[in-house]
Amino acid sequence: MMMLRAGDVGVLLAGAGLVAALTVFAWGGGRGDTAVIRASGQVVQTTALTHTQSFTVDGPLGTTRIEIEPGRARIARDPSPRQLCVKQGWLTQSGQAALCLPNQVSLEIRGRTSAYDTLGY
């Protein structure tokens, strides 16, 4: 007697598909697709995370450089003394934000679903 019949393979594949769909539904909903760049609290740039590009934003201390790549964004260079926002590295999830407070520049990732209604800095 065969252990697996044709329908069994189908059921197993359907089950694997269900697991994958649930995984994407439960865990993958947080990926961001938009980057919002602010300077002194004002939005200066909103861009989709679809292709590689970079922006420079001027603040009180100097120039902050922001890099966008498909699916992620980071602050590449910043004049802040402690470099906290640069050390955060690449941001991918919706709701993540890198704040360069001395230079008053922020980078925020947004997606279809946001974890918070609003964030105050």
Partner 1 sequence: MTRSAIELPVTADDRRIAWLAALAIGLTLAEAAIPSPVPGVKPGLANIVILLVLLQVGWRAAAWVSALRVLAGGLLLGSLFAPGFWLSAAGALVSLSVLALARHLPGRYFGPVSLSVLAAFGHIGGQLALAGWWLLPSAALVKLMPVFAAAALIFGAVNGVIVARLLAAPAPDKRQSTPCILP
Residues that bind partner 1 (CB under 8 A): 1-8, 10-12, 15-16, 18-19, 22-23, 25-27
DSSP letter string, the chain? --S--HHHHHHHHHHHHHHHHHHHHHHGGGB--EEEEEETTEEEEEEETTS-EEEEEE-SSSEEEEEEETTEEEEEE---SS-HHHHT--B-BTT-EEEETTTTEEEEEE-SS-S-S----
Nearer to partner 1 (CB atom), residue 2 or residue 81? 2
Nearer to partner 1 (CB atom), residue 27 or residue 120? 27
**Least distance to partner 1, CB of residue 16, Å:** 6
96: which 2 tokens? 């993540």
**Least distance to partner 1, CB of residue 48, Å:** 27
Nearer to partner 1 (CB atom), residue 25 or residue 41? 25
**Least distance to partner 1, CB of residue 97, Å:** 22
d(CA 54, CA 70) in angstroms, rounded, equals: 12
**Least distance to partner 1, CB of residue 18, Å:** 6
Nearer to partner 1 (CB atom), residue 7 or residue 41? 7
